[in-house]
Amino acid sequence: MTRAAESLIGLAELVAGLEQRLRAGHNRFVLLAGPPGIGKSAVAEHLLRRHEGPRRQVTAAAWESHCSYALLSQAFPGLATSTPLDTAEKLVEQLVPATLLVVDDAHFADVESLQTLASTLRHHPEARLQVLATATTGDRRTDAEVLDLLPRIATDKPRIPPLDARQISELAASYGVALHPWMAERLLRHTSGRPKPVVELLAELPRATWSQFDPTLPAPAAVDARVRQALAECSSPVRRFAEATAVLGTDTPVRDVMALAELDVDPLLLLDEASEAGLVQLARRGLTQVSPPDPMVRAAVLTSLGPARCAGLQRRAAELVDDPVRSLRLLVAASPVPDAEVAGRLDDLARERAAEGAWGTAATLLSDAGRLTDDPQQQQSRITWAVDALIGAGDVFRAAALVPEVESLRETPLRDAVLGYLAVVRGRAAEAGTRLRRAWDIVSTDREPETAALVCQRYVLDALARYDGSDLVRWADRAIELAGADTPPAVEAAAIRGLGLAGTGRAKLARRDYEHLTGRLRHGAQAQRAMLARGWLNLITDRVDDARIDLESSVPTTYLGGSARISLWARAWLARTQFLTGECDAALTTVREALELQESTGILLTGPLLLWTAAAVHALRGDWDAAESVLLQCATGASDYQIMRIPSQLARAHVAEARADSAGVLRALYPLTRPAPSSSADEPGHWPWHDMYAHALVLLGRFDEADDFLAPHEKLAAKRGHTSARARLAAARGRLHGARSDVIAATASFDEALELIGTLPLRYDQARINFSYGQTLRRLGRRARADVALTTARDGFAAMGATTYVERCDRELKAGGVHLMRSDSKLTPQEDAVTRLVARGMSNKEVAAELFLSSKTVQYHLTRIYAKLGIRSRTELAARHHSVPEGPHPEG
């Protein structure tokens, strides 16, 4: 990648739009305004190089801003006259049409030059002058009149977006630096996504910096020099005020800054000068709080203090702040050598935060504690616990960065349990099993009950991923017994235990337990976990509206240390809820946001669950390229874990069913007919696949197999009293009765299915059952009733944007012939439908699956069609069909 290409990372769309506008040839003034280092100059230089006509470039300077025509005189000597209007006349005389004039640092331009450009653009369209101006926002040296004039004369004011974490990784790669996603996020926060400081830091810092766990990032040299100069030009009280603000950090009360700086003057006077120097800014809450302008300025101010003076201020600041986490982190920053007392306080506070489920905060505290610990065994324990907390917070990339260090430590049950935990969330079933078995083998439940409880709780997660309800409950009970009901491992185990109960047919007991647990955990991150699990339970037990409320409440990570891992699970099941209720756009949005979060955290376990919903939506909408792309991602993320494998298989089955590929449905779902002995996958409502499999068997004429397959699942659904499962299976049974020409039984089964599903807000299932009903009724010759069912299905699918099934409904309605005109009066409705599908290039087998007919029947229809139309081949049929105008739309 060339340096020119690097400078445009993240700006391709903006640049393309500007190129198109500038090529139009009209008078135009494009203003690229933004903070320093955002990429304004890179865009301007690129457009200047690419411009095919005459071009000129000028640069404004602060010291020339009050000199009339100083800017334009650079490119057009002797241009100035008495007024900007007269000067514009002279400018046009010197201009070649379609000139591109690039004005760098236009915020320092003199007023007269800008007025001249404005007059030229306004009064001389024949000049075809194109001005591209860059301006830095927030520079206090900018003249007020220029600040007002620039946006008023601009015809275009595009916003230059900051880089996101992915683009920062791409930029780093162009410099030969591979960034972990968490490090890219860190660099994003430090630089506010501005390309220039990102590039400067990549060039200035040693390569080893970017592979460290939690490096302290300095300011780029240019920022450091600017800040040092600003500090040197400030009065002593203002400098002390700025230094105290940097030590205390973001959103600090002014009273604390004044106390730390030992100042007894009017703070407003200090604020004015410090703000003017770009060293301090007011927080959003008004005059009571201040912050450094950005992390780079803060880093530069702290560096300027020197280690000894900075540490002294940090120790004093630790006594001023009320937040115990902030206070201890200030002491950590001020501790160049191990400090057992501070490390102990960090450890104690980390345990408190972990008890609340605030794993992100706990991880930071434990990492700090490890750094300040001198005893090797204690240091090992704290580092290992820090990794465990990072995984709990969903920060898998940062946790993985510490794995080499953890693996180098001596083997302990805690070490193996933590590494097993990491393997679970990364979807590595075999590794997780090995690690957790080893941890359980070497732990002593008598001497280390806390660690033993942790191992049990990690086994709970492993059992959930294996979808083994019995094992899940067994390990959860062990964890609670060993740890005590109110400890973090016990609470987490209890939060998941209900899903194990539901997986073993005890959903009512699970719901009762969740009501008790959520009543006890009303706040904090542990409440997020319990809320998620209850929402998951509500969804699989048909309490769809309650599920939505719980899952939406579990998505944010703004809880005290809320976990990205929990948020991903919540988003995965929320997307499924949205899909089932017919909100396909919302479902795709939820999936997209969740996949972005997954990419930034490294948590892979939920990936197939999200992709299942995406595949289903794309298939319904006939977006086959997107659907196939999702299936490829599913295959890439395949795992031995049931909770990853099952959704991947269901995604493939959804796409096959939408393509009317019944054999493909059976291939995708066949592995699910051979579950592990302890699997809970067949529990009604958990994974709705049984009816899909039965429908496919019937459509392929395997009636006895369908009968045998349906019976046990119908019995279990009835025993559990599961409404949606009973409805789906009743529809499959109705299709089987219809295939056997039992009109009464088919009608009864479908009516039962519609009555059951009608009590639930499951729009997708309602449309799907009506479609199956209409297909069956049409085949049985009940065309009027089929028309009603198919029209209802069509309306439902249309509301979801499910164009694939809208088209299939249309074809069924045409084939039924009720209220429709045929496109060729010689053909029956059924023959017309066969003609349309064959003309599209479908095989007899595909047509049979689409129209719910046998291949022999399709061939019989083709023979009659050929005879009626006087043709002899499929090619002639296709040619004739395309030459015949379509009949009216089914709704016409």
Share of the chain above pLDDT 90, in %: 59
Q: How far is the C-alpha of 736 from the C-alpha of 707, rounded, in Å?
A: 8
When pLDDT is averaged across residues 173-178 and rounded to a whole number, the result is: 90
Contact criterion met (CB below 8 Å) for 551 and 577: yes
- What pLDDT score does 288 carry? 85
pLDDT at 824: 53
pLDDT digits (tens, 9 = 90+) for 822-837: 455 577 777 878 888 8
Q: Is the torsion defined by CA of 11, 138, 150, 92 positive or negative?
A: negative
Residue-level pLDDT at 562: 57
| Mean pLDDT, range 451-456, rounded to an integer | 94
pLDDT of residue 819: 53
Per-residue model confidence (pLDDT) at position 220: 96
3 state SS of 783: helix
Lowest-confidence region among 98-107, 670-679, 703-712: 670-679
- What pLDDT is stored for residue 862 in this prediction? 85
Q: Is 30 exposed, middle or buried (0-12, 13-18, 19+ CB in 10 A)?
A: buried
The confidence band for 855, taking pLDDT boundaries of 50, 70 and 90, is: confident
What residues are paired with 156 via a beta bridge?
30
The domain made up of 4-153 has a fold known as Rossmann fold (3.40.50)
What per-residue confidence (pLDDT) applies to 892? 27
**CATH number of this structure's domain 377-593:** 1.25.40.10
pLDDT band at 182 (very low <50, low <70, confident <90, very high): confident
pLDDT of residue 825: 57
Q: Indicate if the pLDDT at residue 791 is higher than 70.
A: yes
Closest by alpha carbon to 475, among 486, 462, 459, 464?
459
Sign of CA dihedral 320, 324, 329, 335: positive
CA-closest candidate to residue 49, choices 97, 106, 102, 9:
102
pLDDT of residue 109: 93
Tens digit of pLDDT for each residue in 561-620? 457 888 999 999 999 999 999 999 999 999 999 998 888 888 889 999 999 999 999 999
Task: Read off the pLDDT of each residue in 247-271 and give the average, rounded to a whole number.
Answer: 92
All CATH 1.10.10.10 domain ranges of the chain, comma separated, are 822-892
Rounded to whole angstroms, the Cα distance separating 496 from 515 reads: 13
pLDDT band at 638 (very low <50, low <70, confident <90, very high): low
Q: Which pLDDT belongs to residue 557? A: 63
As a whole number, mean pLDDT of residues 243-256 equals 93
Q: HSE (CB half, 13 Å, CA atoms) of 44?
A: 28
pLDDT of residue 374: 92
**Using CA atoms, how far apart are residues 666 and 653, in angstroms rounded to an integer?**
8
Q: Per-residue pLDDT averaged across 657-679, rounded?
A: 89
For residues 871 and 879, what is the distance between their CA atoms, to the nearest angstrom?
A: 10
pLDDT at residue 519 in the model: 85
**Average pLDDT, integer, range 696-722:** 96
pLDDT of residue 886: 46
* pLDDT given for residue 561 in this prediction: 46
Band the pLDDT of 861: cuts 50, 70, 90: confident
Span 302-328, pLDDT tens digits: 999 999 999 999 999 999 998 999 999
- pLDDT given at position 817: 67
User: What average pLDDT does this structure show over 470-482?
Assistant: 95
Task: Write down the pLDDT at residue 882.
Answer: 62
- Segments of the chain assigned to CATH 3.40.50.300: 4-153
C-alpha dist (Å) from residue 750 to 538, 716, 754, 770, 777 = 26, 19, 6, 8, 10
How would DSSP label each residue in 363-427? HHHHHHHHHT--SHHHHHHHHHHHHHHHHHHT-HHHHHHTHHHHHTSPP-HHHHHHHHHHHHHTT
Provide CB contacts within 8 A for 536, sequence distance 6+. 499, 547, 551, 569, 573
Name the average pLDDT for the chain: 89
Q: Is 221-336 a domain of CATH 1.10.10?
A: yes
Q: Where in the chain is the domain with CATH 1.25.40.10?
A: 377-593
pLDDT of residue 590: 96
Q: How confident is the model at residue 761 (pLDDT cuts 50, 70, 90)?
A: very high
Give per-residue pLDDT as tens, 93-130.
888 888 899 999 999 999 999 999 999 999 998 888 99
Task: Compute the distance between CA of residue 590 and CA of residue 568 in angstroms, rounded to an integer.
Answer: 10
Say whether pLDDT at 4 is over 50.
Answer: no
Say how far apart CA 11 and CA 162 lie, in whole Å.
9
Closest-CA residue to 117 (of 131, 97, 106): 131
How far is 362 from 352, CA to CA, in rounded Å?
Answer: 8
The CATH number that domain 822-892 falls under is: 1.10.10.10
Task: Extract long-range pairs of 621-629: CB within 8 Å, 24+ residues apart.
Answer: 621/584, 621/801, 621/802, 621/803, 621/804, 622/658, 622/803, 622/804, 622/807, 627/655, 627/658, 628/655
More confidently predicted of 637 and 682: 682
Residue 887's pLDDT band, with cuts at 50, 70 and 90, is very low
pLDDT for 474 beyond 90:
yes
* pTM, to two decimals: 0.75
